[in-house]
Structures are given as C-alpha cells and as structure tokens.
Structure 1
Amino acid sequence: MIHGKLSLQNWRTAEVSGEAPQSYFESYNLRLFFYGTLYNKDTLHAKADDTFAHLAADAFLSDKLVGFSRLDGSFTIIYFSENECGVVRDMHGTHYSVYFKRDGEFATSFAYFLQNADTFPIDKKVLSHALQRGLTPASTSVSLDIYRLEAGCHLQLGNEYQMLSMLKNAGAGLNSIEEVKAFSPMIYDACKGTVNAVIPLPNDIEADAYRPVVEKNPDVEAYSQRYGELHRQAIYRRIGNSSRVGILLSGGYDSGSNLAALRQIYDGEIDSYSIGFKGDTWTELPMARLMSDTFGTRHHEYEIDGTEINALPDIVRFLNEPFVEGGLMVNYCAMRMIGDDKPQVILGGDGSDQYFGTSAREIALHYIAARTGISPLLRGLNNFLNSRTFAADSKLPRINFHLDKILHIMEGERFGFSDNDMCKLLQYPGDDFEVFPTPQSDIRSFAHLYTQHALVSDLKIVIDRVILYKASRMAQMFGNNLTFPFMDLELYRFLKELPVNLKCKGDNVWKIARGQFVSKYLLKHHYKPLLPEAVTAKKKQGGFAPMPLFFCNAMRRAHLKDFILSSSIYDDYLNRDSVEQFLNSYDREASQQSSWFWLRQNRALQYFNLLTLVTWWEEFVEHKEVQY
C-alpha cells in the first residue's frame, strides 16, 4: 500500500509513505514517484539507463496536459511541483486502486482511511448499486467522503483552475452534456488545499470517440498483417528477456492467439493454466489441452467444485469493496493455482472481445427498435415484466432477459436484482436507491452506435471496471505478474481506426440482428490458420462460470443463509423479511435443473451479490473477521 497527501506547501520535501517506489525522479522543478512498470520504452525513445520515473517525468514536462497519456504500462504515479501535484493511474487501472478525500489525502487501500475511524458515513445508494450490479458506480466508494480515482484518470491539485481544456477532451464526441456532468461530482472548488479536479487522461480513447471507420472493400490481408505485427510486438514488450513465461489458456481464440503469437517470438519454457468446472458438459479444458500439446507448454489444470465460495471473505477483505462478476472465482482459482513456482510473467487474453466490440446482435436490435420507433413499446413491456413474477419454466423471463439487454445496451451486463426487486429488498428504497444515468444512444448509424457502445460499455465499464479490475487484483492478491497484451496502447490505436466491418462482419444490420455475423473478424481471420481446427471450428460456449455450482449444496446454502440473516445489515438498510423470502425461494429453485440456464445463472449471481454485500458489511462496518 502507498499513501500520502497532495499539497503544494513544501512540495520539495513531500513524501509518499508505504511501499517503496519502483523508481524516483527529481529535478529543480519536479519530484516524481513511479510505482509499477512501463511497456513502451521503445516509443518513448528511452536510453539504456532511463528509469521509468525519468521517462514519466520527461513525458509530463514535455506536455503537462497530454504527456502522461503517452505512457503504456501498469502504474501509479505521484508527482509534486511548484504549481501542481497529482496522482495518475494507468490507462486501464491494472495497477493499484486509488482512493482519496477532498483534502487531497490518498491511499491505495480503502481500509487505510478506516484505521483511525470507528465508523464512517456509508453511501447506501452505492451499496444498492453494488447489490444490483455487482460493482460500485464510477468514481465512488462505499463512503460518502471517500472517492475512487478511475482508470486512466489524473487527480490534480494546482494553483490555477485548469478544467476547460480537460473537460473538452473528456466530452469530445459525446454529444451529451450529461456525460460531461458525470465528472462534476469530482470537480471541487479551486481553493488552496483542496483537490481541483479529477480528469480523464486526454488520450485518443476520448478524443473524437464516436467517429466510426467504414470501408466498403477494406484490404483484409494488409490489416491482418499489421494486426499480427502489433500483437507480437505487444507480447514482446511484456515478456522482455524472461526465461519462463506463463499463459492463461481457456481453449478459445483469445488465449490461443496469445499462445500462437508467443511461440512465433519465444522458444523458451511456457507454463499454461486452465480452469474448468466439475460436472460442466460445456467445459473447454479439452480444447486447452489440445492447444498446450500443439504449442508445447507445461500444462496445469484446476476444476472448481463450488467449495471455493469459502474464499469469498478473503477476497472481500483484499478488494476492500463489494464486487461480484461471474468470472471472479475463476480468476481467483487461476491465480491461486500458480502457487509459489511462478513464471516471471503471465499473459492473459482479457479485453480482446471488448476492444473489437461486443453485443453486436443486441446493438443491432437496439438500433432497429430506435429507428423504427418501437422502443417505447419495448420499454413498457420490459417494465411490465419486471413488475411480475413468472414460473421458472415460462418463456416470459427469457423474453424479459433479452429485452433488458437490448434496451440497456450502454450499461454493461445487468445481471443482478431488478429495480422492482431492489424496492422490496431495501427498507427505504426512495432514499437508498438511485438509477445512475447513461448517455443517450447515438443512432445516426449502426456503426455509430457500435462504436459508442465499444467506448461507453465495453471499454469504460467492462474492461476498466470489471474484467481487468478483477483479473489484475486477483493477480496482486497472490503476487503474480499478470499482463494483458491485447491492451497494448498501439494495438488499441490500430483497432480504433479499424473499419467496423472488420470488427463485426455482417452483410447488414438486419442480418446482424438475427445473429448472422462474425465477431472479432480480423483476429479470427489472422489466427485461424495458426490454431487447431478443433478450436476454430467449435461454437463459442465458454466465457462464463456456471454460478449455481457454488450454491448447489443444500448444507452449504443453509449455513450461508444463517450467516446472511444474522447480519446487522437489517438495522437500517436491508429488509430482512424480503431477504429471507429470496433465500427461501432460491432453496426451492435450486433443485429445478430443467429451468433455463440464464435464469438460474442470474439467480445465482443475485445470491452472490447479496452474500458479498453482507460479508463486506460484517468485515468493514461491524469489524468482524468473517469465515463461512
């Protein structure tokens, strides 16, 4: 953990406490502490003896507005100068989480702020969002007076109020005042001794964000060759001179592409790691073994059986905040499996889907509904179905499941409790529940909406706050050096300029709406000849964990039920009767294996959300060390 306070007084002697920095830079006008690593020393024209701190300082001094955005890595930077000081997080926030207060005090642990406080002001609206979505809203924490610095953002204190040009970058292409206002809760009065602003790093992730690239007849082979070059370069930057490399292997295109590209530039020892699920007929472990055999890795496997839920209190303590996502336990088990015999670097395939863009079918349906004027009708049907309870074998829950994804396409995955459920679960729903706004859909064309979704949902929510957050934090929990080649800055810039029809290839929006398209087209085009046919020919079926597995044991559920119902969280927040009704209902449904998979999956995620929130409450509010 690192902690300190942003202050312009005595800036020449300001210190950062806790963990020692990876490197440090000082000149007559700047002091900079660098934690983490940089991958793009080549594009920064680094000399052999340049430290990461020196490179970061050069980038900042060359251009104080955009300098830091030239850095590609996993890092936290703290700097002090005569006119400003600040904290900077890497583009996707894969290094430490950062929390701060209005007076400029910051730390990489939420628990740090609780050390000298018996109680803290709880933001119940944030807790409710976590109960519904599995994560807290952007820039918030569970405390009213503690904030979280988001991925790719810069917390700044300065003598002058420098927001105008920065907000211009933040809002470029958004065509929405509300999106700019999303930063306003974090923009404080520009007075000495208080934080001036939290700003997104003004890189080209934000600039001209919704300008889709469309080419009728793109040169697929030229794009494919360049993509392969950039991907191999991204891997080389991350493995450096490592003599032993690890790789997470799921049996799909992304991890397989990482392995194929790695073998083109590296002939050393590779350890591959795969996770499966006991009794899962959709397991991808055979495909992972096939790729291990094809590319010559030392393979390791672990099958989840559901008892891993007992590790949830340890995860909650480490994360400091309530967080749930279907793959969280997969990441936990993968990082735990590696143990003490660690490769020097481990490659993960995370983020590739989202850089290319996901949910094409739902985006197409959202676009068609908006352009044909039937969106109000669909919203009415969605609201009606949300307010009713239907049998598990009814088709109506399936209809509503898909309606919810189509109508709320900009909000990321909405697994968890519905708005109607939340009103029942909370004692004071009007005070403790708030629907956070999302930007208006850009329906000028399917390409515009697809590009907007890639930025707002895929990148800013799914990559930054879900996928890379859980993967990097679980790696930190076990001291593993996990890195993500698909998140390379140059690769991102290449994909940003890639024609939409090479990301999602379909003849027209109507066919895409019927599921007739190829996602990640360029990646598949490039790597299909290099991967085993059994892998490239199979229908995608992985990418999620069967969550009911964690709650299939009746004795375990009874124990967890006692724990949940014995919590003090019902004193002034949750409605105990409604929670008990949910738990009893889950017990009845647990034996109904014939019900639709995604209905059972969503109910299990609701259980996971509730269990996580109660665990967090007992740990951080009641200061009890929880064990199931």
Structure 2
Amino acid sequence: MCGINGLFRLRTSSMANIIQTMNVALNHRGPDDNGVWESELGLAMGHTRLAIQDLSHDGHQPMHSACHRYVMVFNGEVYNFEEIRQSLSQKYFRGHSDSEVILSAIAEFGLERALRKFNGMFALAIWDKQQKTLSLARDRVGKKPLYFGRSNSNFCFSSELKALKAIPDFQPKLDMQALGQYMRFNYIPAPYSIYEGIYKLEPGSFVTLTIEELSSKTNLLEKCQKYWSALDVAQHHFTHPFTGSLEDAQSHLTDLLEDSTRLRMISDVPFGVLLSGGIDSSLVASMMQKQSSFPVNSFSIGFSNSDKDEAHLAKNIASYLGTSHNELYVSGQDALNLVPDIGKYYDEPFADSSQIPTFIVSKLARSKVTVALSGDGGDELFYGYNRYFRNINNWQTSQKVPDILKRIVSSQLYRYGTKQKLGLAASKYANEIGATNVLEMYMSRICKWVTPERLMLNPKIPAQHKLLEVSALNLPHPEQYLMLYDYLTYLCDDILVKTDRASMANSLELRSPLLDHRITEFAWSLPMSMKYQESKGKHILRRVLDAHIPNSLTNNPKHGFGAPVKSWLNGPLNDWAEDLLAKDKLEQQGIFNCEKVTSLWSDFKHKKKKYHTQLWNMLMFQSWYQNQ
C-alpha cells in the first residue's frame, strides 16, 4: 500500500521540493521508499511505498512504461495481475510487481478497458506524454482514497488531504454544505470534501484532463466518467435474479469466497486476519486457514469493564480454526491517550466511534504482519444490519396509515420540535412519519442530526443526490434500496475510510475478500429469501460458514469492533469533551449555535438525555478543527 500525490502549476520553478514535502506527509502510508518525477510542462508526481509485491527496487515509483509513453503513481493492489500479465502481448518486465502489469495493461488496452479488467483496490494517476493528459482513477468500491481539485491556480491530487497542505499557497476554506453532510452522517460523502474546491474521486470512476483543462476553471466533476456504475450494475442484477437453488447459490458463493481470499493472500510479506468473532470476519478467517499450510495470525481486541466486550467470541473461533491468535484489551485510558489526536489521522471530520478500536487493532496487527484481511462488506451485501429489519417493519406499518393523517402528524411534530431548544426526537419522528418512500424513512434512522442546519450559524442545506438516484430506481423489493444506498455511501465513505486511515496510519495494508466485485455482483443477484429468513440476515453466508465452523460458535449477536462511547464520555474523556465544548471556544469559532451545543452537553452530563451519539459527532468535529 502506498501514498500518491501530484501538482500542476503554471509559471513555476522546480517542484521537486514541494512534492518531496508532500511525500513526507504521506510517509505513514509508505515508509519503505519514496520517489518524485517532474515534467517540463509544470506537472510533478510523488509516491511513498509500502512494499508488498516485489520488495526490490524494480517496484519503485513513479514508474515509467516500457514504451516510455506513460508515467504512473499507483496506490493499492490489483490481485489478478498474474492473469492479466498472461493476456499481454508484451511480456518483458523488470520485476514481478503488480504495478508493472497495471502500467503495461493501460499501455496496451487503454485506460478504461484496462480498469475493467482489474480486480483490486486502488487509486492511480497516469501521465500520457504523447497526448499530454493526466488521468486519475479509483477502484470500484472505493477502498483506496483519492482527493483532487484546485487551490488558486494549482491543480493537485493526493491520497490524503494533509499532503495538499504542503503546497505553499494552498488556502483551504471550510465547505459548509460538506459540514452539514458530516453532521447528518458522521462522515462526508463523495464527491465532496471538507474543503471547497477539493473533491473525492468517486468509486468506479476516472477523469482525464488535458493541459488546458488542468490550468483552466473547467468543472472537474463534469469531467468524471464511470467505468463501473454500482447503480447500473445493481439494478441489472436486482431485476435479473439468480434462478438456481439455495444449494447451487451456496456452492457458487463458496467458490467465489475461496478464490477471492486466495487472491488476497498473495504477498511477499507476512499476512493475517482481523477477527471480531462475527460472521464476516470468521468466514474470512476460515477461508484463509483452509488455504494456509501454517497457522494464520489472527488479531482481536476487547474492552475492559464493558458490555461491548466480545473478545471471547473471537478467541473461541480462533481456537477452533487453529490460528495463531493475538488479543489486546482496551481500557478507557487507552482511548483517552488516542482520542485527542485521532482527528489528524482522518484529515476530515469523521465520527464513527469504532475508528478508535479499529486503529488499535491495526496497530496490534502491524506488530506482526504487514498485510491483514478483514470481513468488511457482508452487512451491505447480505442484509446484515438490524436497522434494515426495523426500518422495513416501520415502512410496512406506515403503508397502512392514510397519507393525509401522516402529513398532519408529521407537521405537528416538526412545529413542536422547532419550539424546543434541540428538538432531536421530534425532528426524527416528524421525518420518519412524513416519509414518502422507504429511503426517506431510512434517513431518519441513520442520520445523527436530521436537521443539522438548525445547529449551524451559517448553514447550507446538504445535497442528497445519491438518495434521489437510488430512490428513482425501480427495484423489486424495498430492502434492496436500503442495501444499495448503504453500499454507495456508508460502506465507501464511513467503513472504508475508517479502515483505510486506521490501517495506513500504522503502515498496515488491509484487504477485504467480500468486496471482490464478483461477489458483489453475485450478491446483488440473490433473491431476498436467500439473504434473510426468520428475522435473521446473511442467511446464505451463515450456511457457508456453518460448513467451516460449528454454528454454536458463530450464532451470537455481533457489534464488530464497537466502542463504549457513553461510558468513556461519562468517565475518562469527560474533561477532554468539556474543553472542546467550552462556550468561549464555540463562540470564537462562530460555526455552531453555542447555546444549543452547551445545552446538549449539559443534558448529557446531568443524565437528562443520552445524546452520546450526537455529542461524539460534535466532539470529533471540534477535535479535527483544533488539529487543523
């Protein structure tokens, strides 16, 4: 895994020193090597390397193609590079890294066609010397990050925002619409970033820019293209379902999982698995151990004095599989030591509280391995979240109530909420009751602040384009809308951001077999009856897992690597929170309604309301703002 960055500037002297400073900011993503390349046209690119495939200098980047036409910086892994290598007409390679194969495939097939052949997680930038164009691309699901945009007259890109701050005249400005998105979801969805004019390249996308476009005010988002559209592919598979039996589906899914895991175990460095004890990570661990001739390293954490501690589940499964298990117990003091600085790892406000245990388990894993596999993706693809069941039940009940009555009740609740200081519950129920489709109702369930603009002093109403795009589809089942929306937003911009930043901060590469696009597409084709039965999701995954691990070890409620935020804020993190939410600090910032924020904190402290979820959202913004 690596870090990439680049800069285009007109009328400038050598940019090598700037790129090298940007590389330093990304050193945690690639501590093994770094490189800089500069053209005479004002473009320069940098790379920091975490050596995984071909540890020799032959894997050094920026990398030039054998035909001398292209220069590339690449972050990630293309797992099927050996298969692609065999399809290339030109088979001369200096080493055996996937980067050489990727560059050769682009040279032979062209960028878009090559991207469709890649099975992996990646972000890349490639300069075409002949056409004088710069192209950026990102993998189908968005495992690897890529920011791009303009600051003053500069075009820039990077794996993380912190590298852009090394540009001498970079002047970031807070994007209030993006902040509103963050307040709603705990994260900022692509293509937006916390800074105006800087964007995230969306998953499955690429953009190609000429010299003129790099130096002009061309609308960058309008130039982006899709080589793989989750919306189109999902709609096709949802409406053309798998017609075989459950046994046929189970057999095919098992084959896909075994092959996906096999590909992600290809490495020239030690590897392991993050094992939470849930269905997804246990399935990945079992597939790994089945294909390994030695005990696979497994890693798990628990929480001292917490009802969220499930380390014993992971330990029992590890014992059954015969992995070499490693566990660590986390205390409130461990969180206290980490939380004040967590904002600097994420570059943007980010408030999924499991960021802390994910960081800690990544650090634990890095003490023994350089690559680890995880179970991310199972919930979104196989109907795994409990909130799906609650939302569908509420939606079905809602359909029995006359629309006019729902509108009246919703309107009354909203008016009541506006008269309250916070009105969080009233706003939530007003939106839920007044929802016109299943996704609108789902929004009231997943939003931390249903109406964040009521808390902000200068709000901009957040755009909801993905909500509209998914709602506009004609899908057979209401459950499919929820899973697809989460795949497009929560998975990419929360789960995968969390795991990328936490793992890369510790120079650990994290791979996710369940997010192989072949599994994604097959999962979308499965009838809902194969995903849930008897009020339980992941039905077919459970059947696959039962063939590898006894049901008695895996049939447990699961929280993943969750975090006991409420007890932390009531205990070891209380003073930290008190400082960040101090009245004078809020007034000086001029971003939030000071009276409402202090009321929120006061109600929590005096146990009038829970509010710990909303408070964590506020606190992680405050922590980020203070760091930045």
Q: Is the 8 A contact 2:421 2:596 kept in 1?
A: no
**SS of structure 1 residue aligned to 2:232:** coil
| Aligned mates of 2:134, 2:150 — CA distance in 1 | 15
Amino acid at match of 1:74: M
Q: CA deviation at 1:205?
A: 2.7
Conserved? CA contact 2:358–2:561, under 8 Å: no
Deviations 1:418-463 (A, max 9, x none): 31x641x3223xx4443534216659877343334332x2211121
- Equivalent residues of 1:251, 1:285 under 8 A apart: yes
Instruction: Give CA deviations for 1:59-87 in whole Å, capped at 9, x if unaligned.
Output: 43424434313212232211122333211
1:16 matched to 2:45: yes
Matched, 1:346 2:372: yes
2:5 aligns to what?
3
Aligned to 1:418: 450
Partner of 1:182: none
The corresponding residue for 2:457 is 427
Candidates 33, 38, 58, aligned match of 2:73: 33
Cα deviation, 1:373-432, whole Å, max 9, x if unaligned, reads 75675566456546449999x99899779769965356596242331x641x3223xx44
**Residue 74 of structure 1 aligns with which residue?**
121
Correspondence 1:37-52 to 2 at 5 A: 37-46=77-86, 49=93, 51-52=97-98
Q: Which residue of 2 aligns with 1:229?
A: 255
User: How many Å apart are 1:297 and its aligned residue?
Assistant: 2.0
- Measure the CA separation in 1 of the matches of 2:207 and 2:351: 26
Of residues 443, 455, 476, the one that matches 2:504 is 476
Matched residue, 1:612: 620
Tell whether 2:536 aligns with 1:518.
Answer: yes
Does the Cα contact within 8 Å between 2:301 and 2:328 map onto a contact in 1? yes
Moved more, 135-144 or 205-214: 205-214
Task: Tell me by how many angstroms 1:333 deviates.
Answer: 1.7
489-498 vs 255-264, which deviates more?
489-498
Q: Secondary structure at the match of 2:468?
A: coil
**Which residue matches 1:247?**
273
Q: Distance in 2 between matches of 1:194 and 1:560?
A: 40
Deviation of residue 113 (structure 1)? 3.3
Q: 1:293 aligns with which of 301, 304, 319?
A: 319
Asked if 1:218 corresponds to 2:226, the answer is no
> Which residue identity is paired with 1:418?
V
CA distance 1:371–1:445, shift in 2 (3 Å): farther
C-alpha distance in 2 between matches for 1:404 and 1:544: 32
Distance 1:444 1:558, change over 3 A: closer
Tell me which of 148, 153, 158 is aligned to 2:200. 148
TM-score by structure 1 length? 0.79
Aligned residue identity for 1:447: P
1:275, distance to aligned residue in structure 2 (A)? 2.1
In the alignment, the residues of structure 2 paired with residue 404 and residue 329 of structure 1 have an alpha-carbon distance, to the nearest angstrom, of 36
C-alpha distance 210-543 of structure 1, shift in aligned 2 (>3 A):
farther
> How far is 1:238 from its partner?
1.2
Tell me the CA shift for residue 479 of structure 1. Answer: 1.0
Residues 1:576 and 2:615 aligned together: no
Which residue does the alignment assign to 1:537? Answer: 555
Q: Which amino acid aligns with 1:77?
A: L
CA distance in 1, matches of 2:170, 2:61: 34
* 8 A Cα contact 1:564 1:611, kept in partner: yes
Do the aligned partners of 1:139 and 1:148 also contact (CA within 8 Å) in 2?
yes
TM-score normalised over the length of structure 2: 0.79
Question: What is the rounded CA distance, in whole Å, between the counterparts of 1:362 and 1:270 in structure 2?
Answer: 37
Distance apart, 1:609 and its partner CA: 1.2
C-alpha displacement at 1:190, in angstroms?
11
Q: Deviations over 1:471-528 (max 9, x none)?
A: 12100001112211111122223223333332234xxxxxxxxxx4331221111211
Please name the residue that 1:488 is paired with.
516
SS at match of 2:141: coil
Give the CA deviation at 1:304: 3.1
**How do 1:372-383 and structure 2 match up within 5 A?**
374=402, 377-378=405-406, 381=409
Change (3 A) 1:488 1:226: same
| Unaligned stretches of 5+ residues in structure 1 | 161-187, 506-515, 593-598, 621-628
Given that 2:241 and 2:527 are in contact with CA atoms closer than 8 Å, whether structure 1 keeps it comes out as: yes
CA distance in 1, matches of 2:119, 2:573: 45
Task: Calculate percent identity across the aligned residue pairs.
Answer: 18
- Number of corresponding residues: 565
Match of 1:453 among 479, 482, 491: 482
**Structure 2 unmatched runs, 5+:** 11-37, 50-59
- The CA distance in 1 between the partners of 2:395 and 2:84, in whole Å, is 41
The equivalences for 1:550-589 within 5 A come to 550-553=568-571, 556-565=573-582, 566-567=584-585, 570-589=588-607
Distance 1:446 1:380, change over 3 A: farther
Q: Which one of 338, 344, 351 corresponds to residue 317 of structure 1? A: 344
What secondary structure sits across from 2:209 in the alignment?
A: strand
Aligned partners of 1:403, 1:346: CA distance in 2, in Å? 43
CA distance in 1, matches of 2:524, 2:537: 16
SS in structure 1 of the partner of residue 73 of structure 2: strand
AA aligned to 2:141 is H
Q: Give the C-alpha shift of residue 466 in structure 1.
A: 0.8
- The amino acid of 1:130's aligned partner reads Y
| Structure 1 residues 265 and 361, CA gap change in structure 2 (3 angstroms) | same
Report the CA distance between 1:277 and its aligned residue: 2.3
